[in-house]
Chain A
């Protein structure tokens, strides 16, 4: 299969590979997929004052999965949490010119974003509850 130039670029020069401290209250982590399905994406965001100041990913998966998560981290940085939830898989698929059989890679990336935000919000809520007690 031929890859789009953008997929190749993200594959060869992935943006924001790495990990943030998953135990930090400022960090939200999303892990989606399963090894036996051939894709696992870990996406993390670091939030300050409601704005995503850093984003990192690690992905086990095909080139399109790596590119989708790499692009997602690029788009997340600088966005508010509400703006981040607006990132849709179709935008990722379009930007990377993913063929139909690779659309699920962009779906995984969207899910990873949502999970990371959810994880961050849950931590914040737990902290607030702990402070109120």
Chain B
């Protein structure tokens, strides 16, 4: 196994830290190691200055003001702070929340936690492409709805929701709109002001920055959003989130976003071209392959395919050395197939057969060709071994077979 070359195509899970980001971070470990909250010496002042410069860069990158950004440990925490914080702060106004079935667990789980404590949660379904229906959203809003949480780009299938329209619908009814934009900040065109977003989560490690640092945008004007903290302590981040700031992480986060925005459209076009090349090769040379996600309104980096009659984990094993991920139950801790593919009405059989390729800044055309060849060879080999493929070739309708379930 070890003689096979390594290719990383799992950029929606995390990204390689850009060397230019590492370079920007380095001084903040052992040279300039002050605590940004130390108000009485130069070590603290220089750290604070760096944090505030980073805050300005990051805020500007999403169309926000610097006083509207709260640093967190990542998007999981930002989502929790947005949802738990807003629900608890506005509990007197109402106890109804709206989200959708394809959200990341870092949104769905805090929603479920609130549901267990007396809140009502409406989970909107999605169509076969993973898109919510805006009329369903309108119909779901009630007088006691306080928060809608609908993501921008989906982490599994890449479908991009129309955030500006969602923002407008929420604001018409005076409902707060939280958007998990972990997969789109620095990649898609996004502006919290223009798009009517009140709370927005994003994370450094998805944009070639370090792990363990993220931010929550919290709108300060029209409306001014307040949150009950989920972490109490020294009152950092204006009391929204206590804890000593991760100065090197924050510096790296800002540098990472800066690099993404330097040539956002150009980089995304290059990545989309690589993705399209991979998609064309795989769909051109293999039959019984299904595209998961919206055919057009999709993240440039994402290619999620179901290779019918082949189980995802066995395919990952056949691709050893190539880092991709699968929606198969066998690869998840919960042993459940992907909740996203399920919500899209993909049968569990196709969920078990799904592979997500996600491309990024450091992938090359040559890597795409290599991964395409490896995938085609592995799928063909596994289909030769698959009783389902054999049955399909014999003309048997697999949906009509009486299976011996376990």
B184 adjacent to chain A (CB < 8 Å): no
Within 8 A of B (CB), among A71-128: 101, 104, 107-108, 111, 115
Is B352's CB under 8 angstroms from A38's CB? Answer: yes
Is A108's CB under 8 angstroms from B385's CB? Answer: no
Is B390's CB under 8 angstroms from A35's CB? Answer: no
Is B387's CB under 8 angstroms from A37's CB? Answer: no
Q: How far is the CA of A5 from the CA of B144 in the complex (A)?
A: 58
Binds A, one of B84-92, B99-107, B307-315: B307-315
Within 8 A of B (CB), among A1-22: 3, 8, 11, 14, 17, 19
Q: With a CB–CB cut-off of 8 A, which chain A residues contact B317?
A: 3, 8, 11, 62-63
Within 8 A of A (CB), among B1-33: 1
A-B contact pairs, 20 of them (CB 8 A): A8-B1, A17-B384, A31-B404, A34-B403, A34-B406, A35-B352, A35-B403, A38-B311, A38-B329, A38-B348, A39-B406, A58-B385, A60-B310, A60-B388, A62-B313, A62-B317, A66-B385, A107-B406, A111-B406, A115-B404
Within 8 A of B (CB), among A25-62: 31-42, 58-62
B320: nearest chain-A partner, CB-CB:
A8
Q: With a CB–CB cut-off of 8 A, which chain A residues contact B385?
A: 14, 17, 58-59, 66
Which residue of B330, B347, B389 is within 8 Å of A62 (Cβ)?
Answer: B330
Is B386's CB under 8 angstroms from A63's CB? Answer: no
* Least distance between A56 CB and chain B CB atoms (Å): 11
Is B406's CB under 8 angstroms from A104's CB? Answer: yes
Q: How far is the CA of A66 from the CA of B317 in the complex (A)?
A: 11
Q: With a CB–CB cut-off of 8 A, which chain A residues contact B404?
A: 31-34, 111, 115
Is B349's CB under 8 angstroms from A58's CB? Answer: no
Is A58's CB under 8 angstroms from B387's CB? Answer: yes
Which residue of A8, A38, A58, A108 is within 8 Å of B330 (Cβ)?
Answer: A38
Instruction: For the complex, count residues of A whose C-beta is within 8 A of B.
Output: 32
Which residue of A17, A19, A37, A63 is within 8 Å of B405 (Cβ)?
Answer: A37
* Least distance between B10 CB and chain A CB atoms (Å): 15
B335 adjacent to chain A (CB < 8 Å): yes
Within 8 A of A (CB), among B349-406: 349, 352, 384-390, 398, 403-406
Q: How far is the CA of A113 from the CA of B347 in the complex (A)?
A: 28
Q: With a CB–CB cut-off of 8 A, which chain A residues contact B154?
A: none
* Least distance between A7 CB and chain B CB atoms (Å): 9
Q: How far is the CA of A113 from the CA of B403 in the complex (A)?
A: 16
Within 8 A of A (CB), among B181-210: none
Chain A residues within 8 Å of B, Cβ to Cβ: 3, 8, 11, 14, 17, 19, 31-42, 58-63, 65-66, 101, 104, 107-108, 111, 115
Which residue of A3, A42, A62 is within 8 Å of B387 (Cβ)?
Answer: A42
Is A108's CB under 8 angstroms from B406's CB? Answer: yes
**A35-B398, A40-B387, A58-B386 are known contacts; what are 13 more A-B pairs with Cβ within 8 Å?**
A31-B387, A36-B348, A36-B352, A38-B329, A38-B348, A42-B387, A42-B390, A58-B385, A59-B385, A62-B314, A62-B317, A63-B317, A66-B314
Q: How far is the CA of A38 from the CA of B313 in the complex (A)?
A: 9
Which residue of B1, B318, B405 is within 8 Å of A34 (Cβ)?
Answer: B405
Q: How far is the CA of A101 from the CA of B152 in the complex (A)?
A: 34
The 9 closest A-B pairs by CB, nearest first: A34-B403, A35-B349, A36-B348, A42-B387, A62-B313, A58-B387, A38-B352, A63-B317, A62-B330
Q: Most chain-A CB neighbours within 10 Å: which of B330, B337, B387? A: B387
Q: With a CB–CB cut-off of 8 A, which chain B residues contact A60?
A: 309-311, 386-389
Q: How far is the CA of A63 from the CA of B330 in the complex (A)?
A: 10
Q: How far is the CA of A101 from the CA of B313 in the complex (A)?
A: 13
* Least distance between A45 CB and chain B CB atoms (Å): 15
Q: With a CB–CB cut-off of 8 A, which chain A residues contact B388?
A: 35, 40, 60
Is A37's CB under 8 angstroms from B314's CB? Answer: no
Q: How far is the CA of A11 from the CA of B337 in the complex (A)?
A: 22
Q: How far is the CA of A61 from the CA of B406 in the complex (A)?
A: 14
Is A39's CB under 8 angstroms from B311's CB? Answer: yes
Q: How far is the CA of A42 from the CA of B329 in the complex (A)?
A: 21
B328 adjacent to chain A (CB < 8 Å): yes
Mask, B57-84, CB within 8 Å of A = 1, is: 0000000000000000000000000000
Which residue of B309, B310, B330, B390 is within 8 Å of A19 (Cβ)?
Answer: B390
Is A58's CB under 8 angstroms from B352's CB? Answer: no
Q: How far is the CA of A11 from the CA of B313 in the complex (A)?
A: 12
Known: A59-B385, A66-B314. A38 touches B337 (CB 8 A): yes
Is A62's CB under 8 angstroms from B311's CB? Answer: yes
